[in-house]
Structure 1
């Protein structure tokens, strides 16, 4: 249950970070763009890793 909650929250947070990075790019804030893209990468990567781990645990 906790894994599902983590995945449901992690993906929208990553999407928000990408959207915010795009808005920062339009304004010209390069440091903020890099930070938000890094946060989005970590969010999506952790969701992918934990989702894959959960799939392997359940299917085994």
Structure 2
């Protein structure tokens, strides 16, 4: 079993890090956005996609066609 922990800190909105760590090693994967524009594009894409859909619970996987 691998424990999962989420930490939100700092004032940089566009930086996300996933950390996999064991007793003697650590692997980090970091994404840094240079502009908030990419987040706005995703929100607009989701808004356009949802038009005409019945009420329900949807995820970004639905929006991106990943399911």
TM-score range, shorter chain: 0.3 to 0.5
Larger radius of gyration: 2
- More contact order relative to length (CA 8 Å, sep ≥ 6): 1
TM-score, length basis structure 2: 0.31
